[in-house]
Amino acid sequence: MNRQQHRTNDARQRSTLRWIVAIAAVTLVFDGYDLVVYGAVVPVFLRDPSQIGHLTPGQAGALGSYALMGVMVGALIAGAVGDHIGRRRVTLVAIVWFSVAMGLSAFATDLTTFGALRFLTGIGVGALVVTAGALVAEFAPPHRRNLYNAIVYSGVPAGGVLAALLALLSSDGDGWRALFLFGAAPLVLLLPVALLRLPESPKWLLARGHTVRARQVSDRTGVPLPEVTPSRTGERAKVGFAALATRRYALPTLLLGLMSGSALLLTYALNTWLPVIMGQSGYGKSYSLVFLLTLNGGAIVGGLLASRVADRYGPQRVIATTFVLAAAALALLTLGMPFPVLLALVAVAGVGTIGTQVLIYGLVSHYYDTVSRAAGVAWCAGFGRLGGIGGPVVGGALVGAGLPPANAFLVFAGVAVLGTLVTCFVPRRAAERVPARASSATEPLSGGGASVLAHE
């Protein structure tokens, strides 16, 4: 290949990567929006039974878990089919599914209908979470994988910020319906762009034996085809969830699921109940939503900074550290600090909970081979959602019991300590022990794909 062709391919590859990162990030903005918008409107539902019916704190927690049950189902379905039919198809279907279900939620008038639509919305969200991680892992350069992953998954807290801002601007009463109707925007704004600009992964196509299509996509996008290395018998021949049960992946898969469960329990518990808990502490609606903004804003900034450190020193050490930060911040929230200090602690808690989950997705999406990557991310998102399902329920039980708000924060701090311990026991991959500087020197953006598959 001459120098001019090389420059042309580099330009095409950079353009392809930018489009993939942008599309994946926007899809996850609406994941985060869906997560936080429910927490933002829970106080309205508790005050006004005319909206969807009489609601107790315990019922509100259970209702918040319906979407998370859907996320678990959607993630597992996407993991089961994503490694077989490809990332692009799953992404396109999930965008349509999520948008339609979210939009219909705006017209619900009773608890049963609203709960069913929350579950259906979650199915689309779960599929998007899985495919976003798989796409970034297969297109991003190895020495910047954690950074690009953090950019994409920072869409989740960014969506939380968007939901909190719109909730501040919305009126009480039926104002919540407009918030849910806005969640259908990807059907109009995102789907056409994804149809035009989202390619299938050449690495996945090659791994599944579609050599001609892989070469065509490589020529069109400038993404180099990886070198095909001899496969290991037994474990390497297995695709999707079957590969996760092999000796190579069984223990790490269990521990990664527990890591994700800890972080998602904290993420969903705080995003659902933080406005209510702070309201019980004497802060009105506006102040309570400011805490929600701070939680997700801290996750965005802290997650991006932590990802740069993770690219240099490895994600596991950074994840353990952010879990510790979450435990410390949540414990300190029980001490009745001045308002500015409370905001700072909530921001740190955002880094240690939502930001930690961003880093976990990055670790998981790079931990598995191409033929089992979607299944690995699906396990992380699906099994981890068991913790997410428990978050609103645990928060609802603590709030409904009439206990002091400090008790909830102490329980959440204990979960963060558990997450730290689990993280320390996850076996590290051999490829992760290579210093970042060496990786970047040998695996530049224009040619990273070949060496990645060799590592895998």
What pLDDT does residue 369 have? 77
Between CA 361 and CA 236, with CA 356 as vertex, the angle to 5 degrees is 25
Positions in the chain short of pLDDT 50: 229-236, 430-456
Domain boundaries, the chain: 7-455
Question: Which tens digit of pLDDT belongs to each residue from 279-291?
Answer: 777 776 667 778 8
Select from 416, 419, 421, 391 the least CA-distant residue to 328: 416
pLDDT in tens, 167-195: 877 766 678 888 999 999 999 989 999 99
Which residue from 63, 2, 75 is spatially nearest to 268, judged by alpha carbons? 63
In contact, 10 and 445? CB cutoff 8 Å:
yes
Look at residues 268, 418, 417 and name the one whose alpha carbon lies nearest to residue 329: 417
Position 441 scores a pLDDT of: 35
3-state SS record for the chain: CCHHHHHHHHHHHHHHHHHHHHHHHHHHHHHHHHHHHHHHHHHHHHHCCCCCCCCCHHHHHHHHHHHHHHHHHHHHHHHHHHHHHCHHHHHHHHHHHHHHHHHHHCCCCCHHHHHHHHHHHHHHHHHHHHHHHHHHHHHCCHHHHHHHHHHHHCHHHHHHHHHHHHHHHCCCCCHHHHHHHHCCCHHHHCHHHHHHHCCCCHHHHHHCCCHHHHHHHHHHHCCCCCCCCCCCCCCCCCCCHHHHCCCCCHHHHHHHHHHHHHHHHHHHHHHHHHHHHHHHCCCCHHHHHHHHHHHHHHHHHHHHHHHHHHHHHCHHHHHHHHHHHHHHHHHHHHHCCCHHHHHHHHHHHHHHHHHHHHHHHHHHHHHCCHHHHHHHHHHHHHHHHHHHHHHHHHHHHHHHCCCCHHHHHHHHHHHHHHHHHHHHCCCCCHHHHCCHHHHHHHCCCCCHHHHHHHHC
Query: What does the alpha-carbon distance between residue 388 and residue 55 come to, in Å, rounded to a whole number?
Result: 21
What pLDDT, on a 0 to 100 scale, did the predictor assign at position 65? 79
Check: CB of residue 267 under 8 Å from CB of residue 392. Answer: no
| pTM summary value | 0.70
User: What pLDDT is recorded for position 285?
Assistant: 64
Say which CATH class 7-455 falls into. Answer: mainly alpha
**Of 198, 204, 14, 208, residue with least CA distance to 92:** 198
